[in-house]
Amino acid sequence: MTSVNLTRFAWLSIAAAVLTISLKAAAYLLTGSVALLSDALESLINLIAALMALAMLTIAARPADEMHSYGYSKVEYFSSGTEGALILLAAGSIAWTAIPRLFTPQPLEQVGIGVVVSVLASIVNFGVARTLLHAGRKYQSITLEADAHHLMTDVFTSVGVIAGIGAVVVTGWERLDPIIAILVAANIIRTGVQLLRRSTLGLMDAALPVTEQDAVKHVLNEYGHQGIQYHALRTRQAGARKFLSVHILVPGEWTVQRGHQLLEQLEADIRAAVPGVHVFTHLEPLNDPSAWQDITLDRTTQEKPTKASTP
């Protein structure tokens, strides 16, 4: 994974946002539809989010240093969290614009041209969203995934708006336009809350997905026939980087060399099962009581290690 690859996708998102804003703004000016205006406002948020993504991906690509020994990848959660907050702001703006139209509805104009322009914008968003989603999953970037899901939500929103405008034309009920805009705002709120939740979990060092944890446990259990046990398995994810630590317990009579060789093979097997994970192992003797004092997530600070006897 390189910073060049990911920033290229961010630039693609920026270009798509500028194009769709122009198209949707034109559609609103042609028709006067607040539903189309809500769609245009969401695309404006897409642009801000894409610029934020570009900045965060650039920072995330920096190599680890003395001040940030685990790297900068966790900064991606600030991007997705900011995007979630901006989405909620957009939802409020849409509702603020649409509610007055419920009481003073206005007729739509040049609906056909406006809808065609909106469809073109949706096609652009759909293509870019699919590209970003594929890249986000391939490179394990929450920033690109968040941007992709946001764009895909924009596509679904546009489809709803276009269908609503068609319903206004067919039924002649002009209040359908602001009603649809308010429904769009509600949908945007749902997406924003989801992004904020995922970003918060990332900043709080949430564990790896259960499927990946199970894959790790399967590898560790395979070593049981050698008399090996383990505990204190901990995992977390920071943007595109995954971290895992575990204590490996071996018979006390093993030599340091034998224990080291075991850990090297075991770590390689874990990395094969969960690609990209950074593995930290701690070797302990099975027959030492102190090795069993740190099974829980937090070892009590009151306990002091016993001094090793000298020969």
Q: In what order do the strands lie in the sheet with 241-250?
A: 229-238, 241-250, 277-285
Residue 267 pLDDT = 94
Residue 205 pLDDT = 75
For the cut 50, the answer to whether the pLDDT of residue 310 exceeds it is no
Q: How many domains does the chain have?
A: 2
Residue 213 pLDDT = 92
Per-residue pLDDT tens over the stretch 8-54: 888 888 998 888 888 878 777 777 766 667 667 767 777 877 888 88
Most confident of 134-148, 154-168, 253-267, 289-303: 253-267
When mean pLDDT is compared across 95-104, 109-118, 283-292, 302-311, the lowest value belongs to 302-311
Q: Please report, rounded to a whole number, the percentage of residues in the chain having pLDDT higher than 90.
A: 17
Kindly state whether residues 9 and 108 are assigned to the same domain. Answer: yes
Domain of residue 229 covers: 210-292
Kindly state whether residues 191 and 254 are assigned to the same domain. Answer: no
Kindly state whether residues 72 and 15 are assigned to the same domain. Answer: yes
Kindly state whether residues 153 and 264 are assigned to the same domain. Answer: no
Kindly state whether residues 147 and 232 are assigned to the same domain. Answer: no
Q: Is residue 150 part of a domain?
A: yes
Residue that terminates a domain, selected from 182, 203, 224:
203
Pairing of strands 277-285, 229-238: unpaired
Kindly state whether residues 190 and 220 are assigned to the same domain. Answer: no
Residue 217 has a CB neighbour count (10 Å cut-off) of 14
Pairing of strands 229-238, 241-250: antiparallel
Residue 306 pLDDT = 47
Length of the chain: 311
Kindly state whether residues 15 and 131 are assigned to the same domain. Answer: yes
Q: Find the CATH number of the domain harbouring 230.
A: 3.30.70.1350
